[in-house]
Amino acid sequence: GRIVHLADYRPTDFVLERVDLTFELDPTETKVEARLIFHRREGVDAAAPLVLDGDDLTMTSLLFDQIELDPARYTATPESLTIRDLPESTPFEITVVTMINPEANTQLMGLYRSNGIYCTQCEAEGFRRITYFPDRPDVLAVYTINIIADKAANPLLLSNGNFLGGAGFGPDKHFAAWFDPHPKPSYLFALVAGDLGIVEDTFTTMSGREVALKIYVEHGKEPRAAYAMDALKRSMKWDEEVFGREYDLDIFMIVAVSDFNMGAMENKGLNIFNDKYVLADPETATDQDYANIEAIIAHEYFHNWTGNRITCRDWFQLCLKEGLTVYRDHEFSADMRSRSVKRIAEVRYLRSEQFPEDAGPLAHPVRPSKYREINNFYTTTVYEKGSEVTRMIATILGRDDFKKGMDLYFERHDGDAATVEDFVKCFEDASGRDLTQFSLWYHQAGTPQITVSSSYDAGAKTLTLSLEQMIPATPGQSAKEPMHIPLRFTLISENGSEASASAISGGDVTGDVLHLTERAQSFTFSGIGSRPVVSLNRGFSAPVTLHFSQSAEDRGHIARHDSDLFARWQAITDLALPALIDAAKTARDGGTVAADPAFVDVLLAVAADEALEPAFRAQALSLPSEADIARELGGNNDPDAIHAGRQAVLSAIATAGADVFRKLHATHSASGPFSPDAAGAGKRALKNLALSFLSLAENTPALAAEAFAKADNMTDLSQALTILAHRFPDAEETKQALTAFETRFASNALVLDKWFTIQATIPGAASLDRVKVLMTSPHFQPTNPNRVRSLVGTFAFGNATGFNRADGAAYAFFAEQILAIDPRNPQLAARLLTALRSWRLLEAGRADKARAALATIEASATLSTDVRDIVDRILK
């Protein structure tokens, strides 16, 4: 594929006025008739041809104003349709007929069949696999859709917008017509046909309109859609209350399908979901599943305004809809749940997924300036860092001006295909602030590294905070400009209260936000009576890495006293990381790991503190992950040593805290009836962590086996199974539990994904053979992305010791898998392959073997553009 550059953007030569599509659905021979009305854009050369995008298309007929077009006037290939000699200014109609094969569409882009259901996925460039079209987000048109299909097999015929009507069509078929009055780009088109069950409800909007809500799932699964429906109604209400956004059609539909490359898709009025993010009940869904469903239902619904009403001018602007919409769904979940705990989870995810991306060969700016395959830019940088950038705008402007800016954005750009510059301008205009320097966040890749030191002058009663920012070089960007970094802070005095300064010099400070704008900058606070402890980047106000050599005492002080729970958790993490790094080094040198008793004391005090919410305590007890440690070590890494060191620290905590954990487990085991809410989830998380530590302290599978037998919900059940499998992989209890789980959920593919994941992530070199055996299980379907991700994906992303076994056998296996998946589903293969993005941080032996595996992929002559793009960049 060729490289697309942002700098080359220009509008289309022809304006698309309207779109009429007629689908005659057939599993292998679907006929698509597209009637497209265009006119030449003013000022465009009269000789310019109309060039439409295609992907793997077969055209059977082409009419111009309803008359067959002279073959001399057009050129059709599977990838494009070019039509010449077109009218200078009058509108004209092109009628194209293409034949497509939904059954054979294993890429899951365009129109395909999943479990007998016809469905579509058009973002980013799937529509061109349906018909020839100006398939780009700045081409907005009004669509009318006709669907004709066999009536018995497809009682349901759905598309975007409002239902116009339907009737019989010959003896066995019927048709339905849909009209979407909102102009939209092709990536938001959707069609669904088949036989599904339905859950219905209504929502009355703030202006009093009644909206019909419909969630379609496989027959028999209707009860498992209740939580999704509840989350949808809460999302609709929240968007009215917090962002003033009302829904704009008479009907809102969600369809759950079992084969889906992504989480979900925000098609106008007809969201299509990976069923994993719709279906839940206590018996089959974990608390994490419930939280994901709530967040993703909200995310896709919020796209109706941030994405659909205001869309992107081009795919370089992807963060305009994704970063902003992630920010909105984060705020929603924070309002529905515990804000601090939600923030901790977000930051954990950002650090474990986005920071490595930003530090490796795939690093790219939040708004990239070039791409070879847009599918490879649905990244944590665009989504998660994009959300952080939006959050920083809110932090810099403050709540009121941020709201004014959002209101202005909705007012000014409704109906537009907008850019990041348009978005930022709204906040500048609303607040009067200059965001020029701030905008570097969109353009410079790499996680800023901030070095901080503080010094207190008792005589002068001043505290000086010196900061220096460094943005590491990233592919294509060697030199970086200093950025505008908003850091929330407080000064905590000896007695734990927050000290206030009478004056500040050296830089801009607004409220509790310190604005770092220079490469190096010192802020002096005066009127400080005694040496305070500085708590910096509270709430993770900026997505940066702080290098602040605070003493363990100071960190302990923050961990005990900060009024920001996030900052307390961060302080515990800052205490834990050096201990875990030491442990990894000691384990590597063959020494005996000893955990710092002071750190263990802080941790156990938090665990036992009944004044703190259980979910927070669970977060504190979930030490930094092996990936966190590897990132911090930053090179020459040995995953076995990291794992062994971390396990030794966990054992030390378990032994020292056995009584605390026994009590926690007992207290929270006798919980009342199941509720998926945040409070219930927090208690279960704490209880299960206590069980895990206790099992370690007593070194017996008996406790987890008992918990497995008693569990009355999937969270407890899967946690007990995880403890058994990960800590006691060879125990008889573990074998029995794995078999019992498999038998009990044999007909529930989504639950069996957990069974695959738990086994694929058992630490140690033996897991490779386990994964190979599991791939031969009748439950494993190699064409289903959820199955592949839960087995091969979690092995590669979530099993550092197994995937990185020293002999390189897992890399070779992985390369084979990528090469096998790629011809079927390039998007899935490319996404999996990113698991090797940090191979250069491994010690030399493993790094060589990883490179060799990557080289076998690169050597294939038939790679998709998706995989070619990733492998080239990873090896560069």
Which of 215, 216, 183, 205 shows the shortest CA–CA distance to 16? 183
Closer CB to ligand DPP, residue 123 or residue 180?
A: 123
Strand partners, 177: 146, 165
The one-letter code for the residue type at 396 is I
Helices (H) and strands (E) in the chain, counts: 30, 34
Please work out, in degrees rounded to the nearest 5, the angle formed at the alpha carbon of residue 439 by the alpha carbons of 322 and 866: 45
| Residue 325 CB, nearest approach to Zn ion (Å) | 5
**In terms of C-beta density within 10 A (0-12 exposed, 13-18 middle, 19 or more buried), how is residue 653 classed?**
buried
Residue 33 C-beta: closest distance to Zn ion, Å: 31
In the sheet with 264-265, reading across from the earlier edge strand, the strands are: 197-204, 210-217, 251-257, 270-274, 264-265
Task: Between 180 and 322, name the residue whose CB sits nearer to Zn ion.
Answer: 322
Query: Which residue number, 299 or 873, has a Cβ lying nearer to ligand DPP?
Result: 299
Q: For 166-198, b where at least 16 C-beta lie within 10 A, e where not — what string?
A: eeebeeeebbbbbbbebbbbbbbbbbbbbebbe
Spatial neighbors of 636 by CB under 8 A, at least 6 apart, are 841, 842, 843, 844
Q: What is the 3-state secondary structure (H, E, C) of 500-559?
A: CCCEEECCEEECCEEEECCCEEEEEEECCCCCCEEEECHHHCCCCEEEECCCHHHHHHHH
Nearest distance from residue 363's CB to ligand DPP, in Å? Answer: 21
Rule CB under 5 A: which of 284-323 touch Zn ion?
Answer: 322
Paired tokens of 866: 């998706």
Least distance from C-beta 326 to Zn ion, angstroms?
7
Tell the smallest beta-carbon distance from residue 413 to ligand DPP (Å).
18
Contact 108, 261 (CB under 8 A): yes
The identity of residue 315, as a single letter, is W
Report, in Å, the least distance between residue 294 CB and Zn ion: 15
Q: Which of 33, 218, 300, 353 is catalytic?
A: 300
Taking CA atoms, 670 is separated from 584, 662, 710, in Å, by 37, 13, 11
CA distances, 697 to each of 153, 621, 653, 658, 824 (Å) = 57, 15, 9, 6, 47
3-state secondary structure (DSSP) of residue 413: helix
Instruction: Calculate the alpha carbon distances from 19 to 38, 177, 840 in Å.
Output: 9, 13, 49
Q: Which does 265 bind (CB under 5 to 8 A by kind): ligand DPP, Zn ion, none?
A: ligand DPP
Task: State the nearest-atom distance from the C-beta of 180 to ligand DPP, in Å.
Answer: 18
Positions touching ligand DPP (CB under 6 A) are 123, 262, 264-266, 299-300, 303, 322, 378
Q: Which is nearer to Zn ion, 322 or 564 (CB)?
A: 322
| Residue 123 interacting entry, from ligand DPP, Zn ion, none, C-beta within 5 to 8 Å by type | ligand DPP
Shortest distance (Å) from residue 740 CB to ligand DPP: 37
At residue 350, the 3 state secondary structure works out as helix
Q: What is the per-residue DSSP string for 189-211?
A: --EEEE--EEEEEEEE-TTS-EE
User: Based on CB atoms, which residue is closest to Zn ion, 383 or 755?
Assistant: 383
Q: At its nearest, how many Å lie between ligand DPP and the CB of residue 275?
A: 16
Nearest residue (CB) to ligand DPP, 267 versus 688: 267
Query: With contact defined as beta carbons under 8 Å apart, do 520 and 468 qualify?
Result: yes
Q: Can you tell me the distance from the alpha carbon of 523 to that of 519, in angstroms, rounded to the nearest whole number?
A: 13
Q: Which is nearer to Zn ion, 303 or 687 (CB)?
A: 303
Q: Two tokens at 548?
A: 């602040």
Active site residue 218: no
**Pick from ligand DPP, Zn ion, none: which does 262 bind, CB < 5 to 8 A by kind?**
ligand DPP
Q: Which is nearer to ligand DPP, 308 or 761 (CB)?
A: 308
**Rounded Cα–Cα distance for residues 237 and 477 (Å):** 43
User: Between residues 135 and 266, which has the closer beta carbon with respect to ligand DPP?
Assistant: 266
Residues at the site binding Zn ion, with contacts judged by CB under 5 A:
322, 325
Residues with a known catalytic role: 300
